[in-house]
Amino acid sequence: MNAPVEQNLNQAQPSSLPSSQWTRQAIEELFALPFNDLMFRAQQVHREHFSANQVQRSTLLSIKTGGCSEDCGYCSQAARNDTGLEKEALLEIQEVLKAAQEAKDKGASRFCMGAAWRGPKDRDIDKVTEMVKQVKALGLETCVTLGMLREGQAERLKDAGLDYYNHNLDTAPEFYGQIISTHSQADRFDTLAKVRDAGIKVCCGGILGMGESQKGRASLIAELANMNPPPESVPINNLVPIPGTPLENAEPIDPFDFVRTIAVARITMPTSYVRLSAGREVMNDQLQALCFLAGANSIFYGDKLLTTGNNEEDRDAALFNRLGITAI
């Protein structure tokens, strides 16, 4: 008598592999699994490493908006994209602390601060490190995304108490040049190496729905999973097409392909927090529930992500209640 399909799957492959073993071919094979089998595998891995019904919540604040010199095709803050967004100065520290306290009061456990720069100047680091110190003093984990770092800047952020540095790979290396031309993906890896060397945890993921193929999504996951170690936090963004950007008319990704990518990220990076990030405001509750089932266990929480909308807190609370999910 034949064994059940899921048993054969488990015998053929362990539920999680060391990151060094995740070839692109192996990841493409995960994407090719029947949807139910992939979800089953992802749930197995998730339950080996995390509580099945807990989701971490982070809040993201733009501390310096607009006027970025880069040409990222998805971004409203690139100066060359005509999105109507005005360039703003770096926020005063009291504004940041007020937003951080409000985030904590609403249940966020991590506060992320983003600035639209190619990379910060040393005088910018002076101000950001003070923000990190004071936000951390509120009892929140801290994360910043400041672009590409120079020598010594990561160490200064670490000394200030920074927990995470976000710097996404965005997309597959072979597709990267079609989205961004003002820097290379290798430049991003250079900053990630500086962050690791300084002893800061890495937050690094990508954006889906920019015209990449499924092979491209597999390639992105391979790049992430084969970092040594993989990122502690992996944000998976669903492109929000912004008028005035080169990707304003991008074809939306199929929802099941989005869920598949979450599941493959969970399987290949079993100890990472996989964050359901930008694009959640257009997802219905059923799609978000599938993402949680696939292994997403972190969300951005609050009504805005840098310059784009996000789910309101009340909607998230209601969804968590319906699903029996506890926020952490």
Active site residues: 68, 72, 75, 112, 143, 203, 275
Residue pair 78/29 in contact by the 8 Å Cβ criterion: no
Asked if 246 and 81 count as a contact pair (C-beta separation under 8 A), the reply is: yes
Please enumerate in sequence order all residues whose Cβ is within 8 A of that of 94, keeping only pairs 6 or more positions apart, or say none.
Answer: none
DSSP per position, 45-105: HHHHHS-TTEEEEEEEEEEE-S-BS---TT-TTBTTS-S-PPP-PPPPHHHHHHHHHHHHH
The whole-angstrom separation of Cα 37 and Cα 45 is: 13
* Dihedral of alpha carbons 270, 271, 276, 278, sign: negative
Round to whole Å and give the CA distance between 259 and 111: 26
CB contact at 8 A, 24 and 218: yes
Q: Which residues pair with 208 in a beta bridge?
A: 238
- Neighbour-count burial of 134, counting CB atoms closer than 10 A to its CB (0-12 exposed, 13-18 middle, 19+ buried): middle
- If you count them, how many residues does the chain have? 328
Work out the number of other CB atoms within 10 angstroms of the CB of residue 198.
Answer: 18
Bridge partner residues of 164 (DSSP): 143, 201
Distance CA 227, CA 159 (A): 24
